[in-house]
Structure 1
Amino acid sequence: MLVLSRRLAAAAAFAFASLLSLPLHAAPPQGPAYGLIVKLRTPQGREQAKAVGIAAPAADEAGAQRERLNRVLQTQAAALARIAPAGARIARPVGRAHLVQWDQPLAPEQAEQAARALAAHEDVEWVDYNVRERRLDVPNDPEYPGQWWLHPVASGRHGVPGVETAWAQPGSARPVVVAVLDTGALFDHPDLVGTWIQPGYDFVTQPVFSGDGDGRDADASDPGDAVTRTDRNANPGAFADCPIEDSSWHGTKIAGQIAARTGNGVGIAGVNGRVRILPVRVAGKCGALVQDIVDGILWAAGIEVAGVPPNPNPAKVINLSFGGPGPCSASYQDAIDAIRAKGAVLVAAAGNEGGQVSRPANCKGVVGVGALNRNGFKATYSNFGPEITISTVGGDPTGLGACGRLLGDPGLLTSANAGTGAPGAHVYDEVAGTSFAAPVVAGVISLMQSAASADLSPDQIVEGLKRSARPHVRSDDLGTCSSTNVGRCQCTTGTCGAGILDAEQAVRYALDPGSYTPPSRQVVRVDNADTAACRELTRHDGGSGDEDDGGGGGGALGWGWLAALGLAVIATAGARPRRRQPA
């Protein structure tokens, strides 16, 4: 989860444990690998059979793959035995690949050596590390006046998508399903009653991390993902790299942003109050395994997953706010290619380290989302780079970066829970992070699909988001985003995607993609007392701007703060207390 929630202050020094997938010249994982995901090459004869429409049944295909992989393991047994004492075994399918496990998690060096040994076999197409991915954090509804990010674009709100004006657009109001791959659902939150497609599915395989005491089952409810000292003491090996933290209720926060019932006189409004949410639980304590995320992505789109009942309610929009550093892995790319072929699109958060875009937001065919503040500048924490498709508000708390209160905002208000371990009273939290920018985009895509006369393809969705986007804001005071200017800075199409998400224009595109013409746009310039003060602060803090633009540092982060971002899922520091209204 790419998250910057006030609840996560204790995680400020916590390192991401997941790192790179193959190719094999990449660095090994930073934490333990819970097995390796192995994909075999398709035999030439079978490729030819598929080309002429002769394909084996899925069960036969899986069985043949398992037999071939067993032969690979037998051939490489001697090499693998030198790496890990317990014999490797095939655990289960993962998409079109298989998970190979040992009795114990592999240390990073063991995982790298085992991956190299398996990849050396001529029948192996790729090998990926099964590591744990981390949360990527920072109407008449009574709290709607405080939901500034849903209000129309105006001075001081140049970064918002203008959702309120999108609601006024005509359309077919077709039913749309959005899958939320996350920590699960609080089905009884009053602002989400009637929104969930129950029971969803729980893909968390390891009982020690599940929080509900079992493995996969047809119950996507969220038992809480708190990590306690009791967990550490009972199983120090499993929880050694996990921070002590309260439950996040992250899945319910994401669902509230997308689909909180609008006009019901309760709490908040969502981007699309008519959408249905399919809860797909992929994360428990300490995050989510790649194997569980991959299977959750496939199942959410209606693709068969071994050992799991078929999904009767496939989603065309899938939101994922978990990920890790490093290039896109083959496991993710395989799954993304498969769901795109089914007409589904994955919306993924870019990450919160002020650096390169996280995976799987950096995979091909993904709608990668960066975070802006309410003024339209890059949020202090947001990752950036050419892989981002579009950017929108994600909150930018006033305690972050060299500019502090200048140009910051209070974050985004969404549905939550007061329970520190198990569920407690339902409340609302102000949150921030690319984790919370992604569901804004997912919600707008659901508005597009709902307005369209027929399903928009993944390519049409991306085209619509890009063509309808507003230009990034400019400033004489703030420099453009770069490796030496990573804080509150000016976005470009090379760093933050095609532009600023425009909900109204995206819906207009969806009504008639073939004849849509974007309106004439004027680039908005934001130069005021706050930008000037920010410029002076960052000059003294060592920030650097774009010399061609004459800009200052734009909120560049000091080295200590930047290092903490690089190591941690960070929390909002020095921000005002969380709003906790009973639901």
Structure 2
Amino acid sequence: MVRLSPSKLSPLSSLSLGLMLTCTLAACTPSAPLPLADLSLNLGTQRDAQATQPFAGKWTVAEKPAWLQVSPTSGQGDVNVQVSADRGVATPLAADQATLTGQLRIEWKTGDGEAQRGTATWTVKADQYVLKGRLRGEATAQGQDLRTGAGPSAPQSGAGQARGIIVKYRNMEGTGLGKGASANTAAERAGEILRASALGVTSSRPLSGDTAALQVGDMQAALRVLRADPRVEYAVPNVLLHTQTLPQPPQQPPLAQPLEPTDQYAALQWPFRLLGYPAVWRDMEGGAYSRPVTVAVLDSGVRYDHPDLEGMLWQPDEGALDLLTAPDNGDGDGTDNDPTDPGERTRTTGSHGTHVTGIIAARWGQNTAQNTTTCAGCSPTGVVGAVRRASVKVLPIRVIDVMGNAAIADVALAVRYAAGLPITLGEQTQTNQALANQALANPQRAAVINLSLGAPISADTARPMCEAVQDARDAGSLVIAAAGNGYGTVPYYPAACPAAVAVGSVTLSGGSAPKHAVYSSAYDSVQLSAPGGTDPRLDPGTFNGGTLNGVPFQDLVLSTGWNYARGQPDYGAEAGTSQAAPQVSALAALLLSKGVTHDAASTLARMNATATDLGAAGRDPLFGSGMINAAAALGAPAISDTLGLRLQDSRGLVFQPPVDTLGRFNAYLGDGIFSVVGGRDRDGNGIYGEPNEPRAGRSVTLGPSLSQVDVGDLFPR
């Protein structure tokens, strides 16, 4: 029986750099072997170089910096090695180092018996490649007496938009209307002719001795009468003219106030800020998230007695289910409808299913469960979940046993059950015998199914599970699965099942874009990414800016947990694709609850379309389509409007070069393809130019053949 574990962390250059040594006759005799000398190598802008030095003995490259590769690393006789530089590995976050310097330590020995030994240091330098540009934004100022914008567009001119008529007479001397006539004679003459034709004149104004303007009742009839008079030189409409200021586009609506939770540990829940949830939570104030949605969490079970989950879970008599049989389930009974997590035998703290559930649905505000008053040291408010007041509830289904394992058969059965498909449990040792040999249907069909578990098994072995995932998708459920914590490129199942949505993990980088988490498995099936936290052993980070008990808080995901040693609720900081998957599940549920989408296909399409593209342009094995963007997906209001720069290479490495007061930046980088984005941040997550925000972007390739690029002005629109 295959078992699955929770996805949780507990071309050579021709450049020759040979060095020919000089020596005295005495130093070059056979009795005095040449030592291996120190050496300086300068790659310039080349990626590779061949380094040579005469030698008669054995040598080994004992130490080297991570950004340099040396081949071979040992030998006998002359040293002849290829040195290659991967500059990006050593490029600092600020990308402000024009030249990289590193040292190779080479241990050597010559002769037999009393061998002569020593160490040579080869210093290697490499020039970085240069990326320049300028970030441009609108000019800004402040003032209370400055009016901005304009009214509606001015109407088009035409005969229908005129104030009366203008008439001019000719041959004034011969008609008695000459220079000696009074100033209003032209107006009087026109008035007489019009009234004789039964046309009304309401007012008149002389413009000169032979020209007058008249307001008339019927403009077209008046023009015909006057134009028929041979004494009239012209009669034209008194057409309206207009101001020539262009109408302004509508101004951005005032920024909304972000909604920040006040729960005790909420400030440490940085993934929600990264995904734009302060804007989403403000959007919820309008009450639009009212459609009921169930998220099934197939996991180790849940602690119903955790006060921060009160009211957010479907109960044992409402469809919750424990599918494990004795003795695997560890709770003293068999398959039943109580998926309470009894804990893992390997540890006394933490409940994987409770942690995953809290990311989705932990309560906001004061905990009201009774044990918060009897539990010494328990937080009265704790943490928050993504869905807040939306009509979303979690259905716990237990498939992970007390050893932290889940069997394929149990997962397949649970997936079908969660999707509302009937299942039969069969003959088992169980507390609730009424469940045996009966078709069992879930009364709370889950629109979203979360699987924070997996293993690097073959596609053939995973077939029963993948068939169940396909059945669930056909039934209308969206199956979200953790991509795995394999630190490599081997697919994990069920995430790699064709009908599943594989979720990779990102973490904070210290720059204006998150980075791929080192543990997160990267393969073609990865479709989306979400915050899962950092690896505290290999890549520790405290970029979130929070502190816990006076100590910087690591970039881990904080959620609800359980202390089995003390038998009371607590909160845990974890990392893994297990923590990334429920972020996607929560967003999918909110899209359905608000009515932005209406089924699995449109929900997945919306999350892909609004994801923040990271790393290589388009979908890639590291990030999939990108990191989910809750604010963009849900159409949340803007809560900020800042201008900034985002710079990332195709491997997901993030850089943050300084920008001066004129918006100019100058970055020193390694070779590769870089995404350069100037943009505005409208959702307050510190990432500029996301799908719902103004942006100007360039894709730039740097390397030996193109060592300097100026992208010019980036003007986000």
TM-score, L = length of structure 2 = 0.46
SS in 1 for 2:572: strand
Matches within 5 A, 1:317-396: 317-328=448-459, 329-355=462-488, 356-375=490-509, 376-396=514-534
In the alignment, structure 1 segments of 5+ residues that lack a partner are 1-32, 34-130, 152-159, 227-243, 474-479, 481-489, 512-520, 534-544, 552-583
Q: Does 1:168 find its partner at 2:282?
A: yes
Question: Do the aligned partners of 2:647 and 2:674 also contact (CA within 8 Å) in 1?
Answer: no
Residue from 428, 434, 447 that aligns with 2:577:
434
Question: Counterpart in 1 of 2:610?
Answer: 468
What is the distance in 1 between the residues matched to 2:569 and 2:644?
43
Q: Displacement of 1:492 after TM fit?
A: 6.0
SS in 2 for 1:285: coil
Aligned Cα root-mean-square deviation (Å):
3.1
Q: Does 1:218 find its partner at 2:337?
A: yes
Question: Counterpart in 1 of 2:190?
Answer: none
Question: Do the aligned partners of 2:519 and 2:535 also contact (CA within 8 Å) in 1?
Answer: no
Q: Does 1:258 find its partner at 2:360?
A: yes
Q: Displacement of 1:248 after TM fit?
A: 3.7
Give CA deviations for 1:454-477 in whole Å, capped at 9, x if unaligned. Answer: x6222112111110111215xxxx
What is the distance in 2 between the residues matched to 1:347 and 1:546?
36
Question: Counterpart in 2 of 1:458?
Answer: 600
Task: State the number of aligned residues.
Answer: 355
Question: Do the aligned partners of 1:377 and 1:491 also contact (CA within 8 Å) in 2?
Answer: no
Question: Do the aligned partners of 1:413 and 1:429 also contact (CA within 8 Å) in 2?
Answer: yes
Q: Does 1:145 find its partner at 2:267?
A: yes
Give CA deviations for 1:209-260 in whole Å, capped at 9, x if unaligned. Answer: 211122211111112222xxxxxxxxxxxxxxxxx44454111111100000
Moved more, 185-194 or 464-473: 464-473
Question: Do the aligned partners of 2:648 and 2:674 also contact (CA within 8 Å) in 1?
Answer: no
Question: Counterpart in 2 of 1:190?
Answer: 307
Question: Do the aligned partners of 1:406 and 1:531 also contact (CA within 8 Å) in 2?
Answer: no
The change in CA–CA distance for 1:398 and 1:526 in structure 2 (over 3 A counts) is: farther
Question: Counterpart in 2 of 1:495?
Answer: 622
SS in 1 for 2:420: coil
User: Radius of gyration: which is bigger?
Assistant: 2
Q: Displacement of 1:491 after TM fit?
A: 9.9
Moved more, 432-441 or 268-277: 268-277
SS in 1 for 2:4: strand
What is the distance in 1 between the residues matched to 2:646 and 2:506?
15
SS in 1 for 2:647: coil
Q: Does 1:304 find its partner at 2:422?
A: yes
Matches within 5 A, 1:564-583: none
Give CA deviations for 1:138-165 in whole Å, capped at 9, x if unaligned. Answer: 21212111111112xxxxxxxx211221
The change in CA–CA distance for 1:175 and 1:269 in structure 2 (over 3 A counts) is: same
Q: Does 1:272 find its partner at 2:396?
A: no
What is the distance in 2 between the residues matched to 1:472 and 1:532?
12
SS in 2 for 1:270: coil
Question: Do the aligned partners of 2:297 and 2:395 also contact (CA within 8 Å) in 1?
Answer: yes
Question: Counterpart in 2 of 1:27?
Answer: none
What is the distance in 2 between the residues matched to 1:364 and 1:147?
32
Residue from 133, 136, 141 that aligns with 2:7:
136
What is the distance in 1 between the residues matched to 2:674 and 2:610?
29
Question: Counterpart in 1 of 2:672?
Answer: 548
SS in 2 for 1:207: coil
Question: Do the aligned partners of 1:177 and 1:278 also contact (CA within 8 Å) in 2?
Answer: yes
Give CA deviations for 1:417-452 in whole Å, capped at 9, x if unaligned. Answer: 1114xx711111111100000011111111111111
Aligned-residue identity in percent: 31
Give CA deviations for 1:266-291 in whole Å, capped at 9, x if unaligned. Answer: 11110102421101011112211111
What is the distance in 1 between the residues matched to 2:313 and 2:655?
46
TM-score, L = length of structure 1 = 0.56
Matches within 5 A, 1:97-136: 131-136=2-7
- In structure 2, give the amino acid aligned to 1:499: G
What is the distance in 2 between the residues matched to 1:350 and 1:277?
21
Matches within 5 A, 1:226-237: 226=345
- In structure 2, give the amino acid aligned to 1:162: G
Structure with more helix by fraction:
1
Structure showing greater relative contact order (alpha-carbon pairs closer than 8 Å, 6 or more residues apart): 1
- In structure 2, give the amino acid aligned to 1:342: A
Q: Displacement of 1:531 after TM fit?
A: 6.6
The change in CA–CA distance for 1:532 and 1:198 in structure 2 (over 3 A counts) is: closer
Question: Counterpart in 2 of 1:207?
Answer: 326
The change in CA–CA distance for 1:194 and 1:365 in structure 2 (over 3 A counts) is: same
Runs of 4+ more than 6 Å apart: 530-533
Give CA deviations for 1:534-556 in whole Å, capped at 9, x if unaligned. Answer: xxxxxxxxxxx9853499xxxxx
What is the distance in 1 between the residues matched to 2:5 and 2:618?
26
What is the distance in 1 between the residues matched to 2:521 and 2:481?
12
What is the distance in 2 between the residues matched to 1:140 and 1:250?
25
Give CA deviations for 1:329-377 in whole Å, capped at 9, x if unaligned. Answer: 2212211111112211111000111122310111112111000002311
Q: Displacement of 1:264 after TM fit?
A: 3.8
The change in CA–CA distance for 1:318 and 1:349 in structure 2 (over 3 A counts) is: same
What is the distance in 1 between the residues matched to 2:491 and 2:610?
23
Question: Do the aligned partners of 1:166 and 1:505 also contact (CA within 8 Å) in 2?
Answer: no
Give CA deviations for 1:17-53 in whole Å, capped at 9, x if unaligned. Answer: xxxxxxxxxxxxxxxx2xxxxxxxxxxxxxxxxxxxx
Q: Displacement of 1:181 after TM fit?
A: 0.4
